[in-house]
Structure 1
Amino acid sequence: MKNMTRVAGGKGDFQLVHHLTLSGGQFEIGRALTEEARRLGWSPVPVDPVVGRARRTWFERHWPQQHARMDGAAAALGLDPDQDELALDGLSYLPEGTGCSALWIPPSAATDGHGRVGRTYDFFPTTAGEVMGGAPRPHELPMASRPYVITTVPDEGPATTVITMNDLDGCMDGINAAGLAVMLLVADIENAAPPLDATPQVGLSSVQLPRFLVETCENADQAKQALLGAKHYDHGMSLHYLVADAHGQAFVWERGRDGREHIVEFGDGPLCVTNHLLHLNPDPMSLPADGPGSFRTYDRLRTLYERSKGTAMSGADLRAALRAVAQPEDPAAPFRTLWSTVFDTAERTLSTRFYLGDGRPYSDELVFSPR
């Protein structure tokens, strides 16, 4: 079953947001996602047949939900699901890569005992052509102007709700019916550069990784094992991920510049993350000064830490902390906070407000639940 409704934005607003709800088998869900992606201009990417065969095998063994959806994609395209020359995933209709700030408040540090994690999603309010230093194409929309909230209720496995800017089979934020929440952020913004080669590889792409976790894991311990056992790639744009569960556990997963994987935890206390590698700067009180290319990553983390240390925080307090680190509506500033999300892992909800344009209020806060 497929249902799509407009939930935020309208004529003249920067963002127009749809909520797409899909239920049934993963094959049917994959067919429906592919049909929507094709409507948005997506087409399958050619891939080396040896790599294509290895990719399908990897998904079949490690992420069967995605493998079944790829079979559904093949049906939507009229292709043999066993062909190896085209990648039938990566339903991307916009470029990827973000700034962002996030703050996890464990149940022990919450006024009502609910674990919550809040995040600002910061991105360019311009077209892809402008970001690459050129002029926008005729009728080209800003890259982040058409996000989706997608709820899937499969016949087997956990229901999920995700927010995506650019990839219908990936996401930037996600939560499942077990209360596992995952979000991605740029990890090393001072050294970030556009990817030179976006050819699909074997394993999880950077935006598929959060979707993989909310579809295959129920808690932080399972997510750690899944991440350490998975094969993943990021096309050179280093990202890290904040993972939190309904049992009060949270961690940040990131890969160092030497390729090693790191799990960063702060015990039973708030966990702040912005856009620098936490394993290189574990002490919020000893961060370096921001430089021209850091986009206030250290200042934003200090702000979140100061607001959360040694005090119990309510949901309203968390939202106020997110507003304190949101991007300014400054014509000279490269980013805008395009949405601001609060996950309540106890209630299994995702609440978010979307950016409608400079000088305009954000949308009303919308609450979604995969249950």
Structure 2
Amino acid sequence: MPVTTEIVAGGDADFMAVHHVTASGSQTEIGRALAEQARRVHGWRPQPADPVKARARRAWFARHWPQHLARMRGAAEALGLDPDDDTVHLDGAGGVPVGSACSASYYPPGRTTDGRAVLGRNYDFFTTSAEALFAMLHGRPAPEGDTGLPLSSRPHVITSIPDDGPATTVLTMNELDGAMEGVNEHGLAVALLIADAETVSAPVEAGPQVGLATAQLPRFLLDTCTTAAAALDALLGAKQYDLGVPLHYLVGDRSGDAFVWERGPGGDEHAVRSDGALCVTNHLLHRHPDPADLPEDTVESLLTYRRHRTIAERSAGGGLSAERMREALDVVRVDAATDTPYPVRTLWRSVFDLDRCTMATRFYLGDEPGGAPRYSPELEFPARTLQRV
């Protein structure tokens, strides 16, 4: 099985070191490679499981997401475990995102100058260690002498070319069998964002449940769907739960079809659409459909309303392009000068060309002495890195 791993941006002297893992072969072989990487970089170990729930999870994956189940079996091989062991969870290879202040947008081909659909996002997250972040979320001071690496300092770009499904390129902060965003070889792209910044509380530590966890949902859609319409059908038929804080998702394809997927606190489901550009930040769009009629921001809202108004204004009308998307995302990025009390930065900016099935991303490497952010050059990652044999 061809597997390559390289650092493509940053390094030990920078805020982050970005790994690019490329793997082909069976889903089991790909899962083994990802588990080995998660163990090397994050020190990942399987977490204890309730045997009844572990069996139910495997049965659900077998029925709805066999690709993930096969990768779990590969993880078991990497760790020398029985793949049917009911006492541990063989997924969740890393950690889970616990909150972020992201912005994203989708431009349909009918509104772009070159007739190609594009989807872009800023991924904004805390620059602290896991210990300091969890202390802050629970209202406690940061631990003294905290020397842990920032939770967001070792992201991975993962390109998978399986024998039995679409090739995908995904970007993940620290969970190698999930994704924050990605694209597949059919021109379908997905990005996740925190859903309701103002009312979100500390994550409920309930552990993995049956169905799709928040960071698994993008990978599930890219593994199993070719279009946004197929993705909506899949979501309407899939059991989902929040592991970490509630999220919502921007889903778009090369044809011009796109929606934001949201779930209300009572389990109600919403697919929010737009005739033009579709923009999303960190509030529920089905509750606030008009960007001209948004509440004022509070300390807790992470500037979600201001960012949404700005990006929607800059994405209005026709004559849109990937460059206009980059400009709009740069205007709403979070840096040292942004009016927020939290230690948050825009860690990367990705722009997906859905006709070419590529992800172009630049990564945050630190702040200059004057406070300006320092980024890597923009790097392009196609969903089809390897040729099928």
The TM-score with structure 2 as length reference comes to 0.92
Structure 2 residue corresponding to 1:215, chosen from 223, 237, 244: 223
The aligned amino acid for 1:118 is G
Matches within 5 A, 1:149-228: 149-228=157-236
2:298 matched to which residue of 1?
291
State the shift of 1:94 in Å. 6.1
Q: Percent identity?
A: 56
Task: Tell me, yes or no, if structure 1 residue 34 matches structure 2 residue 35.
Answer: yes
- Structure 1 residue runs of 4 or more that deviate by more than 6 Å after TM superposition: none
> Cα RMSD (Å) of the superposition?
1.4
Structure 1 residue corresponding to 2:109, chosen from 107, 117, 127: 107
1:57 matched to which residue of 2?
59
Bigger drift between 125-134 and 245-254 goes to: 125-134
1:129 matched to which residue of 2?
131
CA distance in 1, matches of 2:346, 2:220: 25
CA distance in 2, matches of 1:236, 1:118: 23
Question: Is the 2:214–2:244 contact (alpha carbons within 8 Å) kept by the matching residues of 1?
Answer: no
Task: Tell me, yes or no, if structure 1 residue 118 matches structure 2 residue 120.
Answer: yes
State the shift of 1:333 in Å. 4.2
The aligned amino acid for 2:293 is S
State the shift of 1:236 in Å. 5.5
Question: Is the 1:52–1:87 contact (alpha carbons within 8 Å) kept by the matching residues of 2?
Answer: yes
The TM-score with structure 1 as length reference comes to 0.97
Structure 2 residue corresponding to 1:278, chosen from 270, 285, 288: 285
Q: How many residues align?
A: 370
CA distance in 2, matches of 1:72, 1:235: 23
CA distance in 2, matches of 1:73, 1:13: 30
CA distance in 2, matches of 1:138, 1:198: 26
Matches within 5 A, 1:1-371: 1-39=2-40, 40-93=42-95, 95-131=97-133, 132-133=135-136, 134-135=142-143, 139-235=147-243, 237-267=245-275, 269-330=276-337, 332-359=341-368, 360-371=373-384
Question: Is the 2:98–2:244 contact (alpha carbons within 8 Å) kept by the matching residues of 1?
Answer: no
Question: Is the 2:159–2:170 contact (alpha carbons within 8 Å) kept by the matching residues of 1?
Answer: yes
Q: 1:96 to 1:168 in 2, by over 3 A?
A: farther
2:387 matched to which residue of 1?
none
State the shift of 1:370 in Å. 1.0
CA distance in 1, matches of 2:204, 2:93: 19
Bigger drift between 24-33 and 134-143 goes to: 134-143
Structure 1 unpaired stretches of 5+: none
2:139 matched to which residue of 1?
none
Question: Is the 1:327–1:336 contact (alpha carbons within 8 Å) kept by the matching residues of 2?
Answer: yes
The aligned amino acid for 2:307 is R
